[in-house]
Amino acid sequence: MTIAKKSFILIFLILLFDQIIKIWIKTSFYLGEEVPVFGHWFIIHFTENNGMAYGLEIGKDWGKLFLSLFRVLAVGLLGYILWKLFKKPSVRQGFILSLSLIFAGAVGNIIDSLFYGMIFNESQFYQVAKIFPTDGGYAPFLHGKVVDMLYFPLIYTHYPSWFPVWGGQEFIFFRPVFNIADASITVGVLIILIFYRKEILSSK
């Protein structure tokens, strides 16, 4: 099997899994609903964000539009780089598959941003959203919210009283809520930084 086929299969499976989970969460959970798994080590917690990975945000409507357009351009560039690398047998397959993880994750979140506002109504506290509602979606093209649901509060404790500024306040690690696409991007980046830093320079 060629590296191109391996890459396409990997991208397809991540996108499929990512979108199935997101659509299930969006149409089954009300905003803020959570279900503990394995105690409180892993929690399915439904939230949405307008911005970048792990809930980061920039601006409001204009920031959202800029971010969506930037994502589309960045994914287009990354797709072009992958296509060029498929034709270079000297490039290690692990590097290409790592880039494929990043590409799949980025596309997964772009799908939310581009289309979810048009195909779902607004998720609300104690009210589950519907897909393809008769009265239309909650936002126009490019303004959809990204669905997040994975929450791993691995450590829950409090800062010691003597700790500057935050003394006595609660401390939770890992606090951000994310999705499969975010995880795919993070894993791809980490693998490249650890194992394939030379390929970053040689592929330019």
Q: Catalytic positions, please?
A: 148, 182
Write the CB contacts of 2 (distance below 8 Å, at least 6 apart in sequence): 86
Instruction: Return the bridge partners of 36, or none.
Output: 43
Helix 3-28 vs helix 61-86: crossing angle, to nearest 10: 150
Q: How far apart are CA 160 and CA 156, in angstroms?
A: 13
For 53, the token pair is 């990975």
Query: Per the structure block, which two tokens stand in for 40?
Result: 């409180």
Cβ atoms of 176 and 54 within 8 Å: the answer is yes
Q: How far is 127 from 86, CA to CA, in rounded Å?
A: 46
42-49 vs 146-151, strand pairing mode = antiparallel
Q: Give the integer Cα–Cα distance in Å for 140 and 159.
A: 43
Q: What are phi and psi of 37, to 5 degrees?
A: -125, 130
Integer-rounded Cα Rg, in Å, for the chain is 19
